[in-house]
């Protein structure tokens, strides 16, 4: 069907509104007082540590998680930084090592003699239990409401990595589609519990990490997180790149499909935060983001260890650390986390260039 010239402006207006739904007014950072996060070590503060220190037992309902001062970033996590920058109260359910579902790609953690607690099986049920918890003195543990709470999900680093899809270690018959389905099912569960504002962070450019990069980009032959890597690290990097690109393209188009066409979540608003593009931009243009006292470095990590994890080198100077994109072979630095957090607050404003809004 051919569109008349008079219909083109109407079409453009329709598309513009579709990016942020019928009403964009909800996406203002001042509207949000509560932040709830789910994910893996990129977001975790100390929850996995609780499991380790308590013989694999989960924190009790109503557990007040302490601020993590030495997370996988080498400092504060992006989630804590985002809560500080946005003046929100943080409820962080991320667990280092987590995947979206242990029914898809379970990864066993020797320290607790069980798979890492996952988003679907542990993190969201733990939040839902906390959201209903009332202390003996009658105080509600969770202070959020549908109007002032934003939920952020950043999961995929372990799902797509070694001991999971990268090494064909997922449960037989499971595919990347199952992982993506799990992410949207997580939104289903939170929506049913009252959530109405969601930020979906896509998968970071894992192929640029020292653990998965090509040799010319600082890729390592083996790391403490991937000691049995094998010899063809270029093949590994490109396979990772393929997986990351595939699932992120699915996220890009599936969110508007589910919200605008399927009407899956009535009255909900979802922002797709392209953290992949943001971190890639840091990698390509570090001088615009990194500001430490050392030479800018987007290939070597601050903390570098041999495959056993016993012999390590570390950049001790905190001011020099802000020159690095990566903290160790697998994790972004605290400086990178600051940038992710700062731009996350921009996402909450409804006007971020790194986000698309739907609902």
Residue-wise pLDDT for 64-111, tens only, equals 999 999 999 999 999 999 999 999 999 999 999 999 999 999 999 999
Torsion of CA 132, 154, 250, 326, to 10 degrees: 180
CA distances from 342 to 74, 110, 171, 191, 248 (A): 18, 35, 37, 26, 21
Q: How far is CA 301 from CA 38, 96, 189, 195, in A?
A: 25, 19, 37, 37
Q: Would you list the DSSP string of 65-116?
A: PPP-SS-TTSS--HHHHHHHHHT-EEEE---TT--S-TTTS--EETTTTEEP
Which domain CATH number covers 223?
A: 3.40.50.1110
Domain-embedded: residue 195: yes
Lowest model confidence (mean pLDDT) among 22-31, 207-216, 325-334:
22-31
Band of the pLDDT at 232, cuts 50, 70, 90? very high
Tokens 């018959």 map to which residue? Answer: 173
Rounded alpha-carbon distances, angstroms, from residue 356 to 78, 199, 200, 253: 20, 10, 10, 11
Strands (E), 274-354: 303-305, 312-314
Cα separations in angstroms, 305 against 164, 244, 328? 22, 25, 8
Question: What pLDDT score does 179 carry?
Answer: 98
**Residue 26 has what pLDDT?**
75
Does a structural domain hold residue 179?
A: yes
17-21, 52-56, 124-128, 216-220: segment of lowest average pLDDT = 17-21
Sign of CA dihedral 198, 163, 172, 122: negative
Strand order across the beta sheet in which 149-154 lies = 89-92, 34-39, 149-154, 197-201, 269-273, 355-358
CA distance 96 to 38: 10
Residue 305 lies in a domain: no
Find the mean pLDDT for residues 34-62. Answer: 98
Strand partners, 30: none
Q: pLDDT by residue (tens digit) across 91-101?
A: 999 999 999 99
Q: From 119, 322, 336, select the one nearest 208 (Cα to Cα).
A: 336
136 lies in a domain?
yes
The two structure tokens encoding residue 76: 């504060």
Contact 107, 163 (CB under 8 A): yes
Q: Does 316 fall in a domain?
A: no
Residue 232 placed within a domain? yes
* Domain count along the chain: 1
How many Cβ atoms are within 10 Å of 84's Cβ, its own excluded? 15
* Dihedral class, residue 189 (left if φ above 0, else alpha if ψ from -120 to 50, else beta): alpha
Does residue 339 belong to any structural domain of this protein? yes
- Domain boundaries, position 93: 27-276+334-358
Cβ neighbour number for residue 306 with a 10 Å cutoff: 14
- CA–CA separation, 142 vs 148, rounded Å? 12
Task: Kindly state whether residue 53 falls inside one of the protein's structural domains.
Answer: yes
pLDDT digits (tens, 9 = 90+) for 164-176: 999 999 999 999 9
Q: What percent of the chain has pLDDT over 90?
A: 93
Residue 210 has pLDDT above 50, yes or no: yes
């Amino acid at each position: 069907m051919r569109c008349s010239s008079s219909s083109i402006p109407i079409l453009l207006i329709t598309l513009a509104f579709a990016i942020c739904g019928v009403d964009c007014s909800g996406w203002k950072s001042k509207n949000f007082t509560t932040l709830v996060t789910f994910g893996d070590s990129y977001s975790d503060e100390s929850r996995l540590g609780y499991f380790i220190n308590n013989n694999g037992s989960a924190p009790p309902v109503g557990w007040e998680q302490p601020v993590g001062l030495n997370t996988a970033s080498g400092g504060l996590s992006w989630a804590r930084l985002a809560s500080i920058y946005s003046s929100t109260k943080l409820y962080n359910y991320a667990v280092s090592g987590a995947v979206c579902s242990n029914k898809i790609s379970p990864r066993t953690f020797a320290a607790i003699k069980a798979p890492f607690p996952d988003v679907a099986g542990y993190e969201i049920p733990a939040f839902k239990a906390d959201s209903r918890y009332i202390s003996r003195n009658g105080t509600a543990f969770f202070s959020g409401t549908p109007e002032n709470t934003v939920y952020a999900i950043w999961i995929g680093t372990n799902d797509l990595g070694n001991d999971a899809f990268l090494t064909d270690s997922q449960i037989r018959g499971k595919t990347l589609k199952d992982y993506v389905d799990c992410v949207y099912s997580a939104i289903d569960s939170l929506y049913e519990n009252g959530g109405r504002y969601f930020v979906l962070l896509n998968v970071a450019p894992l192929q640029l990490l020292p653990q998965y990069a090509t040799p010319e980009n600082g890729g390592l032959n083996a790391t403490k997180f991937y000691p049995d890597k094998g010899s063809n690290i270029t093949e590994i990097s490109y396979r990772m790149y393929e997986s990351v690109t595939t699932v992120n393209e699915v996220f890009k188009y599936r969110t508007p499909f589910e919200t605008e066409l399927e009407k899956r979540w009535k009255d909900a608003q979802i922002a797709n935060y392209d953290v992949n593009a943001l971190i890639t931009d840091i990698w390509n243009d570090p001088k615009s983001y990194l500001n430490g006292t050392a030479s800018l470095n987007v290939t070597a990590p601050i903390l570098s260890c041999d495959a056993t994890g016993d012999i390590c080198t570390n950049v001790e100077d905190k001011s020099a650390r802000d020159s690095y994109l990566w903290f160790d072979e697998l994790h972004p630095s605290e400086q990178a986390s600051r940038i992710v957090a700062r731009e996350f607050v921009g996402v909450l404003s409804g006007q971020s260039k790194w986000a698309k809004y739907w609902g």
